[in-house]
Amino acid sequence: MLGTFLKKQILLMVRNRQEIIVLLIMPFVLISILGFALGNLLNRGEIDLNAKLAVVHHGDEEEDLAKIKKETAEWQMPAEQQRAMEEALRAMAPLSLLKKEVFPPLESEGLLKVEYISGDEAEKRKKDFAAILEIPEHFTYDLLHYFLFEEGEKPKLSLTVREGNEISSQMIEDILLQVEKQYAIFRAIGKTGGEGAPLQLTDAPMEGSFETVSKSEPINAFTYYTAGMGVMFALYIASNMASYALREKRSNVFHRIMLADVKRGAYLFGIFASGAMLAFIQIMILFGLSFFVYKVKWPDLASFFLVSAFLSLAVGSISVLLTSVNYKLNSENASNLFSSIIVSIFAFLGGSYFPVSQISETLQNLGSYTPNGAAFSGYLKILQGYGISEISPSLLALGIFTAIIFCIGIFLFPGRRNEA
C-alpha cells in the first residue's frame, strides 16, 4: 500500500507544473538572487545597508494578466492545461514576483526598504531613495506576450540611481539583473515543457561569504542560502500533501480506500511516509543540483543523509497534522495558512534569510525548535566540518518534534461519526 501511496503522490505532483516551479525551481531562483546580490556585500561585512528603493508602477498588473490570459484562451487547450498556463503566467507576473518573493527576504534582513509610490511622489522625493524603479504601463502584458509569442522587442524597466549611494544602488541593480536572468530560465522551461531546462543559472562568479560565530572556515553565501532555501521549501511538501488528501476526501477516494478495509491509522501512516519520502527526494534533488550549480560540497555525507532523513520525517508528521485539521474543518484553510504564513515565520526564525542571531538570541533559540531551524543548524555544522556529536542536538530536536506532531495529528483525525 505504501508504494501505491508514494506513486500516486509523485504522479500528482509531476502533473502540476506550478508545484514543480515552487518546490524545485523557485529555491534556485532565490539562491541565485540572494547569493549574487549579497555575496560581496556580506563578505565585506556591509550588512546594515538599509537601501531605500521606490517602485513606481504606471499600469495595472491584473488588467495585463487578464489580457494575456484572454489571448492564451484562444489556443483552445484542455481545461486542465489552460489552468496550468494561467497559474504559470501569474507566477511569472513581474510586480507580484518582486513584491512576494524577491523583496521580502531582503527587507527582513534590513538590507532593503521598498516603497510603492506614484510617479508624482517619486519626483518630489527622489532624494530620499537610493534608486527609483519605474515599471511602464502594460509592462506585464508586454513581457509575457514577448515570452509566449516571441514578437516585438523585449520591454525594459527604468532604474534611476542617485549619486552618492553607489553600494546600495549596485545591490539593487544586481538584484534586478538576477531577476532578469531567472526570466530567461522560465522562458527556457516553457519552451521545453519543463524538461531539459538548463542548470547553469548564470555565468557570474560565485563569491561572498558569511562570517560564522565559530572558529571554523566561513561558509560561502551560496552554501548558506542553498541550505536555508532547501529546508524552507521542504516544508511546502506538507501543505501540498494535506491539500491532496482533502481533495481525495471530496472526490470520495478516501471513502473507497476505507471500503477496501484499510485502517485509518494505516492511511495516515501512508500520508506520513509519502510526505517524508517526497521531502527526502526533493532535498536530494535540490542539494544534488546545488553541487553542480553552486559547487556546494558536503564533507560528511553520512551526517548529511541523517539530517535530511530526520527533516523529511518532520515534514511527514506535519503532513499528518495538516491533513487531520483539513479533514476536521473540511477545508484547505490549515494547509493554506501553513504555506502562506507559517512557513515564512519558520524560515525567518530558522535563519533561512539571514543569521537571526544578529537580531536576538531569543529568536535564535526559538528558531532552533522549528524543524527547518534545527535541520538548518545541523547542515551548517556539517558544512563547517563538525561531526555527528555536534549535530546530535539538531537530530534530537527533529525527532521530538516529529513524534509530538505525529501524535497530535493522529489524535485530531476525525472518526467515522465526525466526518463531514
Alpha carbons 160 and 98: distance in angstroms, whole number: 17
Which phi and psi angles does 414 have, rounded to 5°? -70, 145
> Of 221, 187, 231, 184, which is closest to residue 47 (Cα–Cα)?
221
Q: What residues are paired with 112 via a beta bridge? A: 51
CA 133 to chain centre: 25
Is-contact 379 231, C-beta < 8 A? Answer: yes
Alpha carbons 354 and 314: distance in angstroms, whole number: 22
DSSP 164: T
3-state secondary structure 350-368: HCCCCCHHHCCHHHHHHHC
pLDDT band at 65 (very low <50, low <70, confident <90, very high): confident
Residues with Cβ within 8 Å of residue 7, at least 6 apart in sequence: none
Residue 293: predicted pLDDT? 82
Residue 201: predicted pLDDT? 31
Alpha carbons 296 and 299: distance in angstroms, whole number: 10
* Strand duo 219-220 + 158-161: pairing: unpaired
Residues with Cβ within 8 Å of residue 420, at least 6 apart in sequence: 330
Residue 196: predicted pLDDT? 37
Is-contact 275 320, C-beta < 8 A? Answer: yes
Q: b/e for 184-202, b at 16 or more Cβ within 10 A?
A: ebbeebbeeeeeeeeeebb
Mean pLDDT of 112-131: 85
Please list the helix, strand and coil fractions of the chain in percent, rounded to the nearest 5, in that order.
Answer: 70, 5, 25
Alpha carbons 377 and 383: distance in angstroms, whole number: 10
Place of cell 504564513: 341
Diameter over CA atoms, the chain? 72
Alpha carbons 293 and 281: distance in angstroms, whole number: 18
Alpha helices in 109-220 (DSSP H): 119-124, 139-149, 166-192
Alpha carbons 327 and 68: distance in angstroms, whole number: 37
Residue 304: predicted pLDDT? 94
pLDDT band at 157 (very low <50, low <70, confident <90, very high): confident
pTM for the full predicted model:
0.61
Strands (E), 9-111: 51-57
> Of 275, 96, 279, 58, which is closest to residue 179 (Cα–Cα)?
96
Mean pLDDT of 200-223: 45
Mean pLDDT of 128-150: 83
419 vs 106, higher pLDDT: 106
Q: b/e for 88-119, b at 16 or more Cβ within 10 A?
A: bbbbbbbbebbbebbbbbbebbebbbbeebee
Q: What residues are paired with 346 via a beta bridge? A: none
Does position 14 have pLDDT exceeding 80, yes or no? no
Place of cell 489552460: 82
Residue 360: predicted pLDDT? 73
pLDDT in tens, 69-94: 888 777 777 777 777 777 777 777 88
- Amino acid identity of residue 361, one-letter, is E
Alpha carbons 165 and 50: distance in angstroms, whole number: 11
pLDDT in tens, 236-295: 999 888 887 887 777 666 666 665 566 777 778 888 988 898 899 999 998 988 888 888
Mean pLDDT of 346-365: 81
Mean pLDDT of 352-370: 80
Residues with Cβ within 8 Å of residue 408, at least 6 apart in sequence: 321
pLDDT band at 37 (very low <50, low <70, confident <90, very high): low
First to last CA, the chain: 25
pLDDT in tens, 218-233: 567 788 888 999 999 9
Task: Measure the CA angle with vertex 232, ends 40 and 383; round to 5°.
Answer: 55
49 vs 373, higher pLDDT: 373
Residue 320: predicted pLDDT? 92
Residue 112: predicted pLDDT? 80
> Of 145, 324, 301, which is closest to residue 242 (Cα–Cα)?
324
Of 84-98, 168-182, 279-293, 364-378, minimum mean pLDDT range:
168-182
Mean pLDDT of 47-63: 77
Does position 15 have pLDDT exceeding 50, yes or no? yes
Alpha carbons 200 and 228: distance in angstroms, whole number: 20
